[in-house]
Chains A and B, each alone.
Chain A
Amino acid sequence: MVAGATRPRIFHECTVLELIVISTLNGVLFGMLLFLLSSGLTVIFSMMGVLNFAHASFYMLGAFFGFQLTKWIGFWPALVVAPLLVGAIGMAVERYGLRNTHKHGHVAELLLTFGLAFAIEEIVSMIWGRSPLDYRVPALLDFPAFTVFSTNYPAYKIFMLAVSVAIFVALLIVLKRTRVGLIVQAALTHPHMVAHLGHNVGRVFMVVFGVGSALAGLAGVIAGPALVTQSDMAASLGPILFVVIVFGGLGSLPGAFIASLVIGLVQTFAVALNGSLASAFGPLDPSAGPSALADIWNVTIAQVAPIVPYLLLVIILIVRPMGLMGTRES
């Protein structure tokens, strides 16, 4: 749905191979963006037991802060400052909101973040309006990186991919090679034991929440110019994000990674395909008139693309209720 914003221009009169190459690139890109968000969400969920409903809202805040700061101080400083701002907001939410709500249980925490998501969307649309913003790709990156067959692949998308991969590698190093990473990893599986070992759990939570929000903000800053920057972007991405982490298995980082890529690729390919049952097996008898069957028969894969993640969710729940790599019950 999101990655296909440029589809009509790109996929006009293209060969199958070209479609595969471009869709794979776009799919991996969308998947890496999803992972920037789902990794933070997963770590926060595993450590604190709270599913942050407002995570996609932090992504949206990143995009809007990025837009505003780009106007004031330019894109490159904004790339650094906007995620820091979002991270600070995330820390404040943890410190003054979630920490006080914790005593009322996880449902109250989830509802708090739900209310926040709602309020953030309203505040954003109050300040910036409800229509899409003119958030442009920086001039430095506004050129085609390479040409596949007849399609120019924009350099900015390569830049997005590079940033996402760099963050992914950095996360991997921090988690696997540093002491902080050790604590976070331990907290993923044994949160109580970590507290017993004498770490300042409150501060660890706050920092993890802040870093997770900052990553979401960064995703927003770099995704803003390529996708649409609009006040409903959180509401449209949020549910997909939750599908990703349920699909991958709640609390599993490798699961979140695989699920991000799978959903990114599946959705991008679905958007690019125009086939329908009618084109595969021939049209239905028109004398039957309109019916639900005719609707299903004639709908194209591209039109179904928005519901594909949710179909995957239902299938995985029937086949493997704890998700791809999940081990823990909720």
Chain B
Amino acid sequence: MTAATTSASNAAKPAGENLRFYGVWLTGVIMLIVLPLVFSSGGSLTSFSLIGIAIVFALSYNILLGQTGLLSFGHAVHYGLGGFAACHMMNAVVSHGWPIPLPFIPLVGGLGGLVFAMIIGWVMTKRAGTVFAMISLGIGELVASSSLILRSVFGGEAGITTDRTALPRMFGWTFGPQLQVYYLIAFWLVISTVAMYALTRTPLGRISNAVRDNPERVQFIGYDPHVVRYFAYCFAGFFAGIAGGLAAISFEIANSAYLGAIQSGLVLFATFIGGTAYFFGPILGAILVTYLQLGLTDVTSVWQLYFGIIFIGIVMFSPGGIAGLLMMHRPLVRAGSLWSVIPSYLVAIVPTVALACGVILTIETIARYPDGERNPVNLFGVAFNPGSPATWIAAAVLVIGGFFVARLTWMRIADAWDRAATVARDRGHLI
């Protein structure tokens, strides 16, 4: 489908490209190590931990959606079961005195997710497409509802709690401080990311892509798409379980919210907003969605609505996600024709931002209308009173005016883009 997932084999790569390839990974690892030293407050450590977990989870989801073309609405089932498996294991380790230190616990979570995927996956992956999506939704609801019935296993509404510091120590680390938990998560993040990237390079990863693009032809060359989908599903379940295990360690609790539809929806949002066609897409998406989730909840009560709007916008206007948008520019950069598009971008920024402000003002005005003057909308330091007609008029002018002017500038971008793409095509960087 795209350059990153289907580029030529490693053998033909020049030395410079190899260097760049490992350079990217090395930079990522160094950033993970250095980040907590730069931003060392407790809040940012927790945020980084959450983002790390979200990245593993979103990457595991992309094994299904991006690599194999399976749209699942119940991926959180494996995440949650992994979390519960990890919690039970941690409690068992403590009560039986087994010599298993904490860093190995996410593996137990992964096995929890894997075992359930192996049991349920065979029936689920019989069919792909819309039917698979509906079945995954049904299974998700089934497990989420069952978790409230099987109280002894899932702890009912309260969930299962655990204590990560009670486990046997490793290298003298207690894993009490958030910093140590962060490094544990970063360690598993690197391991999982490398493993999942390697998976896309194996024959299984390749044939998964083929199943996504054309299952019939895969049958012609002697593979069973059902079996391929099943294996992909199991791998996705395993890595989701690792993410769940990490979450259980980080929060020291597993409850039925881990398994629920909201968690499944969030991972779908993160993966799709980031972009499913590139391996790094879900990483971007997970960072953005987690950051927004943490940041927006303080600012507005209707943050979920903004998620929905961003998601709809991405689906309608940029189905490749953020990664797709970024990578669209690569041929233009190589051909050196990007400079001719940039002025149009700069022109478009003003009305587009105005439109966005109008939408935000409209939503916030409606959301805060019942509170009246006590809860003004604070937009870039300007306070708007949700009860006054002036606010409504301002919102309407911004939305309507912004939309029409922005549309003109978007058309200008499209024209400039066409010209730049023609140049790139002439120079052989765009097919």
- Partner-B contacts on A (CB < 8 A): 45, 51, 97, 100-101, 104, 106-108, 110-112, 114-116, 118-119, 122-123, 126-127, 235, 239, 242-243, 245-246, 250, 290-292, 294-296, 299, 303-304, 306-307, 309-311, 313-314, 317-318, 321, 329-330
- B286 touches A (CB below 8 Å): no
CB contact under 8 A between A51 and B130, given known A115-B311, A122-B305, A122-B308: yes
- Taking CB atoms and an 8 Å cut-off, the chain B residues in 59-97 that contact chain A are 69, 71, 73
SS of A interface (majority): helix
CB contact under 8 A between A314 and B150, given known A101-B315, A122-B302: no
- B272 touches A (CB below 8 Å): yes
- B35 touches A (CB below 8 Å): no
Residue pair A104, B150 in contact (C-beta under 8 Å): no
Residue pair A306, B151 in contact (C-beta under 8 Å): no
Residues of A within 8 A of B311 (CB): 111, 115, 118
Residues of B within 8 A of A250 (CB): 130-131
Residues of A within 8 A of B137 (CB): 239, 242
Residues of A within 8 A of B308 (CB): 115-116, 118-119, 122
* Docked pose: A115 CA to B128 CA in angstroms: 21
CB contact under 8 A between A115 and B312, given known A242-B138, A317-B123, A317-B135: yes
- B146 touches A (CB below 8 Å): yes
Residue pair B134, A119 in contact (C-beta under 8 Å): no
Residue pair B316, A291 in contact (C-beta under 8 Å): no
Chain B residue nearest to A240 (CB atoms) is B141
Residue pair A306, B153 in contact (C-beta under 8 Å): no
Residue pair A112, B138 in contact (C-beta under 8 Å): no
- Partner-A contacts on B (CB < 8 A): 69, 71, 73, 123-124, 126-131, 133-135, 137-139, 141-142, 145-146, 149-153, 261, 265, 268, 272, 302, 304-305, 307-309, 311-312, 315-316, 319, 363, 366-367
Closest CB-CB distance, A197 to chain B, in whole Å? 26
Closest CB-CB distance, A185 to chain B, in whole Å? 21
Residues of A within 8 A of B305 (CB): 119, 122-123, 126
Closest CB-CB distance, A161 to chain B, in whole Å? 27
Closest CB-CB distance, B126 to chain A, in whole Å? 5
Chain B residue nearest to A97 (CB atoms) is B316
Residue pair A295, B151 in contact (C-beta under 8 Å): yes
Residue pair B127, A126 in contact (C-beta under 8 Å): no
Chain B residue nearest to A129 (CB atoms) is B370
Residue pair A242, B312 in contact (C-beta under 8 Å): no
* Docked pose: A110 CA to B142 CA in angstroms: 21
> Which 5 residue pairs of A and B lie closest in terms of their CB atoms, listed nearest first?
A119-B308, A310-B142, A122-B305, A115-B312, A118-B308
Residue pair A314, B138 in contact (C-beta under 8 Å): yes
CB contact under 8 A between A122 and B315, given known A246-B131, A307-B149, A317-B135: no
* Docked pose: A246 CA to B73 CA in angstroms: 15
Residue pair A239, B141 in contact (C-beta under 8 Å): yes
Residue pair A313, B153 in contact (C-beta under 8 Å): no
